Amino acid sequence: MLYLILNLIDEETVKKLTRQVMQNTNWKDGRYSSTYRTSGWKKNIQLPGKLEQDGESIVKTALINNKRIMRYTRIKKTHSIMFTRTGEGMFYRTHLDTPIVGDGRRDLSFTLFLNDSSSYEGGELVLKIDPETKIIKLNAGQVIIYPTQYLHEVREVTKGERLVSVGWIESEIPEQENRYILSLLDEARANMQKENDLGKDNKDIMNKLIVAYNMLYKRFSG
């Protein structure tokens, strides 16, 4: 999986979440959470999810309840969720997220967009996926999930303000390639189950798929 983009929360939930976080008074200089604590490397303001637990809960619940996300990520837990505001002249230069923190391992990173791309200029999420560079700018309610190993940056906002929630996923399957193998098997099984009458031969195939899936899940799990 290079990355996964989908609609995560609806318009009403976006409005509720945005209202909650914007009313919170605990926003702080984003450099507190960065290895590179200089104004030339990171400039934004952040609200830790632990200081906005209702908002954090909305994000966690949406991720865990999404079947497509679960298929491709195998979430063990989500953690270190925060909300970030990047206003005019703010940015986050190219960096790599710390792979392990006190809250857990970071196998996958996510960014949930809370305002539309048309409400600000600049602020694109740039993923360095060798040999390519992917430029991402989504609308409110959409999320991108990608392996934490990617170098990435948030380009400078030149007009308006970018509001997002970011966080990390510790997967039951630590290795990206293994998660992909399991997702293929799971998708094949799900497609076969859509048939009303599998027939004896297909039922045998289905049972073998399930056995293979379960054995690999046990082998790959961390």
Taking alpha carbons only, the member of 182, 181, 7, 168 closest to residue 77 is 168
- Which pLDDT score, from 0 to 100, does residue 37 have? 55
Average predicted confidence (pLDDT) for the chain: 93
Residue 195: pLDDT above 70? Answer: no
Give the whole-angstrom CA distance, residue 187 versus residue 102: 34
Taking alpha carbons only, the member of 59, 50, 46, 53 closest to residue 13 is 59
Could you tell me the CA-to-CA distances from 167 to 17, 130, 153, 217 in Å, in that order? Answer: 15, 23, 15, 25
Which pair of tokens denotes residue 16? 């509720």
Going by the DSSP 8-state scheme, the letter that residue 107 receives in this structure is: S
- CB count within 10 Å of CB 22 equals 13
Supply φ then ψ for residue 70, to 5 degrees.
Answer: -60, -40
Residue 36: pLDDT above 60? Answer: no
**Around 196, how many Cα atoms within 13 Å sit in the side-chain half-sphere?**
0
Confidence of residue 188 (pLDDT cuts 50, 70, 90): confident
Taking alpha carbons only, the member of 183, 160, 44 closest to residue 111 is 44
pLDDT above 70 covers a percentage of the chain that reads: 93
Taking alpha carbons only, the member of 190, 163, 177, 167 closest to residue 216 is 177
| 4-171 CATH pick, 3.90.25.10, 2.60.120.620, 2.30.30.40, 2.60.40.10 | 2.60.120.620
- Which pLDDT score, from 0 to 100, does residue 194 have? 75
- Which pLDDT score, from 0 to 100, does residue 140 have? 99
Kindly state the average pLDDT of the residues 31-45.
Answer: 76
**Around 139, how many Cα atoms within 13 Å sit in the side-chain half-sphere?**
5
Which pair of tokens denotes residue 107? 């196998």
For 82-125, the pLDDT digits (tens) are 999 999 999 999 999 989 998 999 999 999 999 999 999 999 99
Contacts of 122 (CB under 8 A, 6+ apart): 155, 156, 157, 158, 159, 162
For 45-82, the pLDDT digits (tens) are 999 999 999 999 999 999 999 999 999 999 999 999 99
Give the whole-angstrom CA distance, residue 207 versus residue 151: 41
53-64 vs 11-23: helix crossing angle, rounded to 10:
150
